[in-house]
Structure 1
Amino acid sequence: MTSSGRSSAHTPPSADDLLVLLAVGRSGRFTAAADSLGVNHTTVSRRIASLEKSLGGRVLVRISGGWELTDLGRHALAAAETVDSVVRGLVDPGGASLRGVVRISATDGFSAYIAAPAAVSVQERHPEVSVELVAATRRASQQRSGMDIEIVVGTPQVHRAEAVHLGEYGLGLYATPEYLEHHDTITTRRDLAGHPLVYFVESMLHVDDLDLARSVAVGDAPPSSDVPVMRSSVSSTNVFVHVEATRAGAGIGLLPCFMADRHHDLVRILRPEVSVTLAYWLVVRGETLRRPEVEVVVDALRAEVASRRDELMGRGE
């Protein structure tokens, strides 16, 4: 007779346990997995313990902000995805109906002008797919963030995730006609010295490329150099505040062209002398991208960016 420990190690894992692992592996949290499955936190914990007993090892390890799959967990997740696919096929043989919640973290401007229209296009084709947008300007998370998709500015340095280059967008200097009328003519970058700048709160900006954009556009060197020095005016962590403050006459705004060009009361200055190009990147975990509802959202985001390439660079009307 084999011992109970040896016997349990050879007991095939339950399909229910695998589906619970799939939910935790996708969200990184027991509570989120419980919500998606319609069970409680205790049931999720019990199912994971049962799966680990069957497989004879840990499938999850705790990290800051949630849970991460072990090597054994990632191997089990592949089997869980197969089970999930079979179950979906029984419920929806044609594979036509997608459902679920897809959570996206993106910058303010991208959320409003790219992600929102992309979400609408997904909804039109898949009414049961819900898209949640969380506006945030930050680096890509190195660990679980609770987001299915992250949109960041600048090349991300991530592990256990895929980074996809979506496209580029331009930044330029803008001011109102009234502001320009009441100040000396600005014809070169040197003329920017002393003017008020509307941009991010420098001490709270954690995205290297956005910080570099400030230096490239308006400088941070002493007045004796060839790089102009502008004084801070209205600063904010929200790019919509930058646009509206510039429209209100707070100074010269360093603004995304695809946002500023929408307003006829903003004039772009020193083009092409001051023109900064930044890149949007999409970050998603492999196990998350394999979810059909996530895949259609990613495709919609890429299509939206591609269709508005000129607008993003400031060449649209």
Structure 2
Amino acid sequence: MSVTTLPGRRPSPDDLLVLLAVARAGRYTAAATELGLNHTTIARRISALEDALGGRVLARGAAGWVLTPLGEHAITAAEGVERALGELAPDRPRLSGVVRLSATDGFSGFIASPAIVAVRREHPDVSLEIVSTTRRAAQQRVGVDLEVVVGRPHVHRAEAIHLADYALGLYASRDFLARSGIPASPAELAGAPLVYFIESMLQVDALDEARTPTREMVDAVSSTNVYVHVDATRSGAGFGLLPAFLADRHDDLVRLFPDEIDQHLPYWLVCRPEALRQPTALAFIEALRARIAAVEDQLLGRPRGAAEAAF
């Protein structure tokens, strides 16, 4: 006589922790590395959890594994197990783990990097992985906990939070202006060399619209990396449409026409709902907000006219 195991038996806490790791990493291999297991064990644990719950907890997405509705329900229990285990080790730092962030180059360097330093002063077992990219918010956040994008995102099954605004201005190096002359008005910029993003590859509407005051200029150096924009402008490649918080740090750059060319763009944070329940992610978000508050004036640029007066 055979005995059939019915779904609905109590799931294993270990299996729930495996699900949590896969949900955060998006891949069995990455979860296996984090937990010190092999791929086969991860697959077996997930299968056992699905047998216990009576349904699928993961589904294949475009870039990895994503949670099913049943999986999202199970994640709440998994996070409870994780918290309970953390409370059993009072002598260790309260927070540990990896925060995975996708963000633009400028935000990653100027905001995110100092923020994780602040977190690690108190919680040295927390680390940050950054995927640096300039794109629209992904519809499926696989392999990342948090995304920072430019422009208001349109996403489903995700939380979107406005973080800050930053200013784009037109800059040129002192040497370039000495050679080429200082334009008297924005109208004189027609045909002048511009340093900015590659127009055909730009996926972010807000960054494309920010180029409006410079439409009559000619691309001289184009790149997907904003730090290339800054360095090319400093080298004299042309006029750079640059974030003020990056350009104003360089005394060899001069901001031109700050009254006429002063584009403000928003940074938005996008995250999976379960990420907002992760203590490590919450600590990092708090540190992001603190860093943004500390550098708000730099994000929005110098007082208007200060750069021209300094030339």
TM-score by length of 2: 0.92
Choose the corresponding residue for 2:18, options 14, 17, 20.
Answer: 20
Choose the corresponding residue for 1:39, options 37, 40, 57.
Answer: 37
Report the 3-state secondary structure (helix = DSSP H, G, I; strand = E; otherwise coil) of the residue aligned with 1:9.
coil
User: Structure 1 residue 239 and structure 2 residue 226: aligned?
Assistant: yes
Instruction: Map Cα deviations across residues 110-157 of structure 1 (whole Å, 9 max, x no partner).
Output: 111111111111111111111122221111111133122211111111
Choose the corresponding residue for 1:152, options 138, 149, 154.
Answer: 149
For the 8 Å contact 1:209–1:278, the answer to whether it is kept is yes
Cα displacement (A) at 1:244: 1.1
Q: Which residue of 2 aligns with 1:283?
A: 270
Q: Which residue of 1 aligns with 2:76?
A: 78
For 1:166 and 1:52, the matched residues in 2 are separated by 38
Instruction: Map Cα deviations across residues 197-227 of structure 1 (whole Å, 9 max, x no partner).
Output: 1111111111111111112x212xxxxxxxx
Q: Which residue of 1 aligns with 2:214?
A: 218
Count of residue pairs brought into register by the alignment? 304
Report the 3-state secondary structure (helix = DSSP H, G, I; strand = E; otherwise coil) of the residue aligned with 1:8.
coil
Q: Which residue of 2 aligns with 1:270?
A: 257
Instruction: Map Cα deviations across residues 265-289 of structure 1 (whole Å, 9 max, x no partner).
Output: 1111111111100011111112122
User: Structure 1 residue 107 and structure 2 residue 104: aligned?
Assistant: yes
Distance 1:142 1:45, change over 3 A: same
Cα displacement (A) at 1:4: 4.0
For the 8 Å contact 1:123–1:129, the answer to whether it is kept is yes
Q: Which residue of 1 aligns with 2:185?
A: 188
For the 8 Å contact 1:67–1:144, the answer to whether it is kept is no
For 1:213 and 1:113, the matched residues in 2 are separated by 20
Distance 1:143 1:246, change over 3 A: same
Kindly provide the amino acid, as one letter, of the partner of residue 271 in structure 1: P
Kindly provide the amino acid, as one letter, of the partner of residue 312 in structure 1: L
Q: Which of structure 1's runs of 4+ aligned residues deviate more than 4 A?
A: none
For the 8 Å contact 2:101–2:129, the answer to whether it is kept is yes
Q: RMSD across aligned C-alpha pairs, in angstroms?
A: 1.8
User: Structure 1 residue 141 and structure 2 residue 128: aligned?
Assistant: no
Q: Which residue of 1 aligns with 2:241?
A: 254
Q: Which residue of 2 aligns with 1:50?
A: 48
Q: Judge which range, 238-247 or 183-192, deviates more.
A: 183-192
Q: Judge which range, 268-277 or 7-16, deviates more.
A: 7-16
Cα displacement (A) at 1:184: 4.8
For the 8 Å contact 1:26–1:287, the answer to whether it is kept is no
Cα displacement (A) at 1:28: 2.0
Choose the corresponding residue for 2:287, options 287, 297, 300.
Answer: 300
For 1:131 and 1:43, the matched residues in 2 are separated by 26
For 2:58 and 2:258, the matched residues in 1 are separated by 53
Instruction: Map Cα deviations across residues 180-210 of structure 1 (whole Å, 9 max, x no partner).
Output: 2333542322111111011111111111111
For 1:72 and 1:240, the matched residues in 2 are separated by 43
For the 8 Å contact 2:141–2:272, the answer to whether it is kept is no
For 1:247 and 1:296, the matched residues in 2 are separated by 36
For the 8 Å contact 1:107–1:136, the answer to whether it is kept is yes
For 2:107 and 2:20, the matched residues in 1 are separated by 30
Report the 3-state secondary structure (helix = DSSP H, G, I; strand = E; otherwise coil) of the residue aligned with 2:162.
strand
Alignment of 1:80-95 (within 5 A): 80-92=78-90
Q: Which residue of 1 aligns with 2:9?
A: 11
Report the 3-state secondary structure (helix = DSSP H, G, I; strand = E; otherwise coil) of the residue aligned with 2:37.
coil
For 1:78 and 1:112, the matched residues in 2 are separated by 33
